[in-house]
Amino acid sequence: MTTKVAKKPANKAATTARTRTKPAAKAAAKPQNRSTGKSGPKKTAGLELQPARIEELLRRLGSAYPNAECALHHRNPWELLIATILSAQCTDARVNMVTPELFRKFPTPQAFAQASLPAIEEEIRSTGFYHNKAKSISGAAKKVVSDFGGRVPQTMQELLTLPGVARKTGNVVLGVAFGKAEGVVVDTHVLRLSHRLGLTRAEDPKRVEEDLMHVLPRDRWIAFSHEMIHHGRQICVARKPKCIDCPLETICNAADKTWSSH
Ligand code: SF4
């Protein structure tokens, strides 16, 4: 699952203007490009969990991505569940291309439950891993119909009984469809950024989620993951993060920053 944002980071222009003026001024005294490793010691990303820093981090993320929301098109919790299953190893844009026809052919959990696997596979082939995804969707539909009266359950415990649903999908459905913060969505962006920002050292997504749940106030769990996903897509990309444009730069000590003001 990834999310979309209605606008660019609110303070991007201001931040860019600020940061772009700094390299020249600081060039003589400070290391500027950590990716080269040629100037100055390389900082390591240890845990940085001071409450004031976390508060500032959340403030800046919220300010930069005030309208962050789920980018998977859906009209109800069931469609969100299916779209999230389809989004594994696939872009949201591709999923959004597939789901209109998919939901036209199979408009309800009952319709999915009665559909053959090849019929589902045919519709979702372009999202990749379609054999497994079709099995998950078919299994989830049958379980939702047989055990939950055709309605998507609203607890993590129940969601995890559905084929193809792990905590990430459960958190997406609970947070986006029901507004329930039972955990933090940890996708590849949240995982990478949480390391860079010193919020966890864990590698396993479940452990990362536990660390984030411990560090973040519960009322920010849902928005935090949306904001981090946007930031990971737009600025803090996997290779060569755009640190010079980053509103978090002055409070980030990631080892692989491409530019630093401190
Ligand atoms: S300063 Fe660079 S590494 Fe740190 S959060 Fe921003 S883009 Fe990512």
pLDDT digits (tens, 9 = 90+) for 226-242: 999 999 999 999 999 99
Q: Does the beta carbon of 241 lie inside 6 Å of ligand 1?
A: yes
| CA pair distance 196, 46, nearest whole angstrom | 9
Residues classed as catalytic: 168, 187
| CA pair distance 154, 152, nearest whole angstrom | 7
Tell me the best of 54, 57, 252 to mutate to test the pocket of ligand 1, counting ligand atoms within 8 Å of each CB and taking the most: 252
| CA pair distance 261, 244, nearest whole angstrom | 9
User: Any idea which of 45-59, 92-106, 136-150, 211-225 has the lowest mean pLDDT?
Assistant: 45-59
| CA pair distance 135, 197, nearest whole angstrom | 37
3-class SS letters over 56-121: HHHHHHHHHCCCCEECCCCCCHHHHHHHHHHCCCCCHHHHHHHHHHHHHHCCCHHHHHHCCHHHHH
Residue 2: pLDDT above 70? no
Q: Does the beta carbon of 252 lie inside 6 Å of ligand 1?
A: yes
Q: What distance in angstroms lies between residue 84's CA and the mean position of ligand 1's atoms?
A: 27
Mean predicted confidence (pLDDT) in 239-258: 97
| CA pair distance 226, 28, nearest whole angstrom | 38
33: confidence class by pLDDT, cuts 50, 70, 90:
very low
Q: What distance in angstroms lies between residue 182's CA and the mean position of ligand 1's atoms?
A: 27
Q: Does the beta carbon of 254 lie inside 6 Å of ligand 1?
A: yes
| CA pair distance 173, 13, nearest whole angstrom | 33
Q: Within 13 A of 151's CA, how many CA atoms are on the CB side?
A: 6
Q: What distance in angstroms lies between residue 20's CA and the mean position of ligand 1's atoms?
A: 15
Residue 1: pLDDT above 70? no
- Give the three-class secondary structure for 4: strand
Mean pLDDT of all residues belonging to the chain? 87
Q: Does the beta carbon of 196 lie inside 6 Å of ligand 1?
A: yes
Q: What is the CA radius of gyration of the chain?
A: 21
Long-range contacts of 18-26 (CB under 8 A, 24+ apart): 19/244, 19/245, 19/246, 19/249, 19/259, 19/261, 20/244, 22/261, 23/244, 23/259, 26/261
Q: Tokens for 124, please give them.
A: 């979702």
Q: Tokens for 23, please give them.
A: 């390299």
Residue 5: pLDDT above 60? no
**pTM of the prediction?**
0.82
